[in-house]
Amino acid sequence: MLATVLASVAVAIAGPAAAPATLPGDFEAAAAYWGAAPAHCSTESVSAGRLPHRVLGEATIPDPAVSGPCVMKISRGMTHRMRCLVVVHEYGHWLGRHHSSDRKDPMFPVVSPRMVVPQCERP
């Protein structure tokens, strides 16, 4: 079922073609890390663009009582690992997860070098 959801995901890339990693790859890493698809998203979209100073990503989700579009914005200009960690974090919000106080947890509110997400490491 997760593969079906991933196949239907609409991913829009509004960034430079020479980015270190593709957003679709990061999105797939996030889905693999969490092992779940967001239940309240009628559609999912991810785009890269400019965000306010020091904001690396943001995710919007519909009211939990209804299904609707989920949108994620990721800041441009990050390394592959950092962008992947941000996508995993924002995807966690789509799943209803809240911030963690553990610096190793991808739900820690600030990207930390200690975060452990094997799917974001290059082989």
Q: How far is CA 58 from CA 1, 26, 61, 73, in A?
A: 26, 15, 10, 5
Q: How many residues does the chain have?
A: 123
**pLDDT tens per residue across all 123 residues of the chain:** 333 333 333 333 333 333 334 577 888 899 999 999 888 888 888 888 888 878 899 998 888 777 888 899 998 888 889 999 999 999 999 999 999 999 999 999 998 888 989 999 875
Which CATH class name applies to 2-120? alpha beta
3-state helix/strand/coil string of the chain: CHHHHHHCCCCCCCCCCCCCCCHHHHHHHHHHHHCCCCCCEEEEEEEEECCCCCCCEEEECCCCCCCEEEEEEEECCCCHHHHHHHHHHHHHHHCCCCCCCCCCCCCCCCCCCCCCCHHHCCC
Q: What is the pLDDT of residues 17-43, one digit of tens each?
A: 333 345 778 888 999 999 998 888 888
> 109, 93 in Cβ contact below 8 A?
no
Query: On the CB side of 39, how many CA atoms lie within 13 Å of its CA?
Result: 6
Phi, psi angle pair for 33, to nearest 5°: -60, -50
